[in-house]
């Protein structure tokens, strides 16, 4: 499906956001595992968020590291979860985000990062997206066939990607109606501190 079919075409206000670190918020419109004719290239779950006047924005979550796999390292994602409750849902939209650094989140919370097999992580994300009433996500804005954000994981150096990016860690936060629960999901690859 083209971005024009999905969301009426790229919005002009999206152009200056390309490459910017942003926060996307809103209710979830759809959630699917990435499709490809080559199954070895599938490494994302896509969540489309109704971001208010910005239209549909695709949140692209890694479910494995192809770069680590191709370099002979562990391709699994390590997942950390911080649970809390919410009183108000975030306003739907896209906005510039303050720097996000996992080290600051880890200093304030006890987080256990557990390795996830790809299919298990896909199913976990699909299940959370089906239950959630809203999503908040931090990452780098892109425009390809759809407007979206990617790099929703730690940006510290990994085995296959040694360069460090500080303050641009990506994450996703699900909001649930049950008990007004909120879950912040943090993603790391093998070799990231």
- DSSP letter string over 88-153? SPPPSEEEE---B-HHHHHHHS----EEE-HHHHHHHHHHHHHHEEEEEEEEEEEESSSEEEE--S
| pLDDT tens per residue, range 91-120 | 999 999 999 999 999 999 999 999 999 999
Q: What is the mean pLDDT of residues 138-154?
A: 92
Contact 93, 52 (CB under 8 A): yes
pLDDT value, residue 91: 97
pLDDT, mean of residues 170-187: 98
User: pLDDT band at 4, cuts 50/70/90?
Assistant: very low
With a CB cutoff of 8 Å and minimum separation 6, the contacts of 24 are 49, 51, 54, 57, 59, 93, 94, 135, 136, 137, 138, 139, 149
Q: Quote the pLDDT of residue 8.
A: 46
pLDDT in the model for residue 192: 95
Residue 132 reports pLDDT greater than 70: yes
pLDDT band at 38 (very low <50, low <70, confident <90, very high): very high
String of DSSP letters for 49-92: EE-GGG-EEEEEEESS-HHHHHTTS--PEEEEEEEEE-SSPPPS
Closest CA to 186 of 165, 157, 155: 155
- Average pLDDT over every residue of 44-58: 96
Q: CA gyration radius for the chain?
A: 16
Task: List, for residues 72-91, the tens digit of each pLDDT value.
Answer: 999 999 999 999 999 999 99
């Amino acid at each position: 499906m083209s971005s024009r079919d999905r969301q009426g075409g790229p919005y002009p206000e999206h152009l200056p956001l390309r490459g910017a670190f942003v926060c996307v918020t809103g209710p979830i419109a759809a959630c699917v595992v990435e499709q490809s004719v080559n199954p070895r290239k599938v490494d994302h779950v896509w969540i489309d968020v109704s971001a208010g006047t910005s239209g549909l924005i695709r949140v692209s979550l890694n479910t494995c590291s192809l770069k680590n796999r191709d370099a002979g390292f562990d391709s699994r994602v390590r997942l950390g979860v911080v649970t809390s409750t919410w009183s108000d849902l975030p306003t739907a939209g896209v906005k510039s985000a303050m720097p996000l650094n996992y080290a600051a989140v880890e200093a304030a919370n006890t987080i256990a990062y557990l390795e996830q097999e790809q299919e298990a992580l896909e199913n976990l994300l699909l299940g959370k997206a089906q239950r959630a009433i809203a999503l908040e996500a931090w990452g780098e804005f892109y425009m390809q066939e759809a407007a979206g954000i990617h790099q929703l994981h730690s940006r510290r150096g990994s085995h296959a990607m040694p360069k460090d990016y500080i303050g641009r860690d990506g994450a996703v936060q699900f909001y649930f109606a049950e008990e007004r629960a909120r879950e912040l999901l943090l993603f790391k690859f093998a070799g990231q501190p």
